Chains A and B, each alone.
Chain A
Amino acid sequence: MTTLSDLAQPRQDYSYGFMDAYAKRELRRRILKAIAIPGYQVPYASRELPIARGWGTGGLQVTLSLVGPESVVKVIDQGADDSVNAANLRRFITRMSGAETTTDTLKATILQSRHRIPEEVMQEGQALVLQVPDPEPLRGVTADMSKAHQLHADSDYGQMWLLLYEQLVRYRQYIQGASYPSLVNGLYIISPSPIPRWDTPKLHQAAHLTLLSAGREKRLYAVPPYTDVYPLEFSDVPFQVEDQQGWVCKTTGVQNKFMNELPQEDGTSQYELSDSGYAEKLVKNEAVGATYYDDQGDFYYDGYLKPPVQPSL
């Protein structure tokens, strides 16, 4: 005799990928819209997750709606695979999806990151998911979000340029360190999340897809593959990445990659590669992929970065 319990599905604690099917479907639709309108901030219904808002919930929801059993996931926090936050997110994603994990940039199909883009050039078919604390590049010039919305709609970005003007007048250089405002596909200005200036050029004409998602602010946006991304710069004062000339990694001996500075007790500093996955391969003498910046510090996209100019006032 058939009982009711025979007919019912076996009990599951969670849906596949933690979020229910409707939530994932909504996220996927928002992602498609974001890809269709590069740089445009698409609102979405940010779900409750077992981690607190502000700890990567935006990135996590995108990852969970994309991940499948065949995926290979890498999670980094400020370049490191082994930070507590990255490790927890990685464990949660695999537990909920059965996906494989890796620390190798080139092997990952989905790469969720906080505040860095890896050193090795990402490839077609890869998705980079950036966690975004504040998606609104105009927040510095207007506190009124509905006004900011209209400014985006009108491409009325004069005030953003005014911020740069003020920096040049006061400091004779652009001093915005991270989240450097950038124009996507010639239309919308985005905050590329708090990646260092060093990483911003990597978004330009990239082979991979970049998805940027803010869980607390409930908005996501995208830089599709092979899309123009230009940091804001005056025509006579080019944008510059961080000057780390002469900084050598204490573990691997490489330079001209983005470094963490380790202050020493004697007042000097030592440096180590910020990208731990890349460092790991170097230490193990494994083959590494092409990097965005070569050993001389030249960017792989010719002519994109220009020599520094100090403006006269």
Chain B
Amino acid sequence: MMAISNHQSNHRFDAPRLVNASPLVQAVGLSKRYGAIEAVTGVNVEAYPGEVLGIVGESGSGKSTVLRLLNLEEMPDSGTYTLDIPSVLGEDLYQLDRFARREVQILNIGVVYQNPHLGLRMRFTSSGNVAERLLITGERTFATLRQAARDSLAISEFPLNRMDDPPRVLSGGMQQRVQLAKALALKPALLLLDEPTTGLDVSVQALVLDTLKRLQRERRMTIILVSHDLGVIRTLADRVMVMRHGRVVEQGLTDQILEDPQDAYTQQLVHAKL
């Protein structure tokens, strides 16, 4: 038997040739340190319109940091980030001033956090949580706000007879639906999901995943999904990036990563879960 090392690098892939669209998300060379800790090192992220990109890795792998960088919540130490959106075409979003960056974030990016406390005002009404997104953009007609909140909650399959209940009295699954409705209120081009179903009961988790799947299919939204749960990734993602110690160790089509992982770490990860 021949000695083999670093197997992954043997196979070279061509650049995309059939897909005409340019990537919606293009982040190059993202690096971020917290003091002595290198959270993310040289990560590239590319997501095409309508595609669901999964990012997997164990806690501390840097996957949530990547999501925060893509959500413009944090600035990287180095790297560039462009969105294929007319208003900021070709511009590095990290170079925009605070106001312009905030506008790009509000209008084009929606986010759902694992912890609903990060994304919701727990004591305000659920509909108000959703309406706030429109208020930020200057909508000042009450009837319009109500209708938008209702529409957005409905597509998140939230029961409308509870739309004015505050999230703190809702179940975990319902809270995630409110977050989702809020994230979708302004019809963003990019939806970021940070462990959206972690901590939910398995049956509730399946329902929330189903809603996400349905939405993705009907709205052809670009989604970047962070999860440590390979079941969630398998259900939703078209492609997957595997992260470890702040770096991408492997990426590929979801079924390929799960059934023919090339990297030693991915093989361990997949075998540990299946």
Chain A residues engaging chain B, CB cutoff 8 angstroms:
154, 156, 158-159, 161-162, 165-166, 168-170, 234-237, 311-313
Asked whether B125 lies within 8 Å of A156 as measured between CB atoms, the reply is no
Asked whether A169 lies within 8 Å of B99 as measured between CB atoms, the reply is no
Say yes or no for B234: interface residue by CB 8 A criterion. Answer: no
Asked whether A313 lies within 8 Å of B125 as measured between CB atoms, the reply is no
Q: List 30 A-B contacts (CB under 8 A).
A: A154-B98, A154-B102, A156-B136, A158-B135, A159-B132, A159-B135, A162-B124, A162-B128, A162-B135, A165-B125, A165-B131, A165-B132, A165-B142, A165-B145, A166-B124, A166-B125, A166-B128, A168-B142, A169-B125, A169-B164, A170-B164, A234-B141, A234-B142, A234-B145, A235-B140, A235-B141, A236-B143, A312-B143, A313-B146, A313-B164
- Shortest A312–chain B CB gap in Å is 7
Partner of A234, one of B102, B127, B140: B140
Asked whether A158 lies within 8 Å of B99 as measured between CB atoms, the reply is no
Extra 9 A-B pairs, beta carbons < 8 Å, given A165-B142, A166-B128: A156-B136, A158-B135, A161-B135, A162-B128, A165-B135, A168-B142, A169-B127, A234-B142, A236-B142
* Bound: A92/B202 CA distance, A: 72
* Bound: A237/B124 CA distance, A: 20
* Bound: A312/B146 CA distance, A: 9
Residues of A within 8 A of B142 (CB): 165, 168, 234-237, 311
Asked whether B128 lies within 8 Å of A165 as measured between CB atoms, the reply is yes
Residues of A within 8 A of B141 (CB): 234-236
- Shortest A313–chain B CB gap in Å is 7
Chain B residues engaging chain A, CB cutoff 8 angstroms:
98-99, 102, 121, 124-125, 127-128, 131-132, 135-136, 140-143, 145-146, 164
Q: Is the interface of B mostly helix, strand, loop or mixed?
A: helix
* Bound: A293/B146 CA distance, A: 34
- Shortest B4–chain A CB gap in Å is 55
Asked whether A162 lies within 8 Å of B140 as measured between CB atoms, the reply is no
* Bound: A237/B140 CA distance, A: 10
Residues of B within 8 A of A170 (CB): 125, 164
Q: Report the nearest A residue to B98, measured CB to CB.
A: A154
* Bound: A294/B164 CA distance, A: 40
Q: Report the nearest A residue to B134, measured CB to CB.
A: A158
- Shortest B66–chain A CB gap in Å is 26
Asked whether B132 lies within 8 Å of A162 as measured between CB atoms, the reply is yes
Q: Report the nearest A residue to B106, measured CB to CB.
A: A158
Asked whether B136 lies within 8 Å of A158 as measured between CB atoms, the reply is yes
Residues of B within 8 A of A156 (CB): 136
Partner of B131, one of A162, A236, A237: A162
For the complex of A and B, 9 pairs with smallest distance between CB atoms:
A158-B136, A234-B142, A158-B135, A161-B135, A235-B141, A162-B132, A237-B142, A235-B140, A311-B142
Residues of B within 8 A of A161 (CB): 135, 140
- Shortest A182–chain B CB gap in Å is 15
* Bound: A236/B136 CA distance, A: 18
* Bound: A154/B131 CA distance, A: 20
Residues of B within 8 A of A311 (CB): 142-143
* Bound: A235/B145 CA distance, A: 11
* Bound: A161/B125 CA distance, A: 13
Residues of B within 8 A of A169 (CB): 125, 127-128, 164
Residues of A within 8 A of B132 (CB): 158-159, 162, 165
Residues of B within 8 A of A162 (CB): 121, 124, 128, 131-132, 135
* Bound: A234/B164 CA distance, A: 18
* Bound: A215/B63 CA distance, A: 49
Most chain B CB inside 10 Å of its own CB: which residue of A158, A170, A313: A158
Q: Report the nearest A residue to B136, measured CB to CB.
A: A158
* Bound: A162/B124 CA distance, A: 9
